């Protein structure tokens, strides 16, 4: 990454790549959910529901299903009584870790900036 070139072609390719990434990550809550799973490895539906402030169960359900289709998360059902469902990032999804870390850092700074005013 450090040796990234910046020819005309590369610009286009990189912009396209970001666009592709956003195609998958564009859900209103997708990135927040990934963040939760980055910081928790395994997490139950109801816990994620609590972690992601503002999301409704309907939306969480839909997003998780979509993310599962995109192979970003893995869903595991444990037949306890009552049922328990665990979500975790796939290896593929885990590759977004550095994106999340950077966003987190930026978010901290952003918060300071906004609150400071």
Binding residues (CB under 7 A) for DNA: these are 27-28, 44-47, 54-59, 61-62, 64-65, 75, 82-85, 87
Pick what 6 binds: DNA, a second copy, none; C-beta below 5 to 8 Å, kind-dependent.
Answer: a second copy
Q: Provide the total of helices (H) and of strands (E) in the chain, helices listed first.
A: 6, 3
- Binding to a second copy in span 28-87, by CB under 8 A: 28, 31-32, 35-36, 39-40, 51-53
Figure out which of the listed residues 3, 26, 58, 116 binds a second copy, where binding follows CB under 8 A: 26
Is the omega angle on the peptide bond into residue 3 within 30 degrees of 0, that is, cis? no
Q: How many Cα neighbours within 13 Å face the side chain of 100?
A: 18
Cβ atoms of 44 and 36 within 8 Å: the answer is no
Pick what 64 binds: DNA, a second copy, none; C-beta below 5 to 8 Å, kind-dependent.
Answer: DNA
Q: How near is the Cβ of 103 to DNA at its closest, in Å?
A: 18
CA–CA dist 85, 43 (Å, integer):
8
């Amino acid at each position: 990454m450090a040796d990234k070139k910046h020819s005309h072609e590369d610009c286009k390719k990189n912009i396209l790549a970001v666009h592709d990434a956003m195609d998958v990550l564009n859900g209103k809550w997708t990135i927040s959910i990934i963040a939760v799973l980055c910081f928790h490895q395994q997490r139950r539906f109801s816990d994620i529901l609590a972690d992601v402030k503002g999301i409704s169960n309907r939306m969480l359900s839909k997003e998780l299903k979509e993310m599962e289709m995109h192979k970003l998360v893995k869903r595991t059902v444990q037949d306890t009584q009552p049922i328990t469902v665990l979500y975790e990032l796939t290896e593929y999804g885990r590759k977004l870790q550095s994106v999340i870390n950077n966003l987190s850092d930026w978010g901290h700074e952003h918060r300071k900036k906004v609150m400071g005013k």
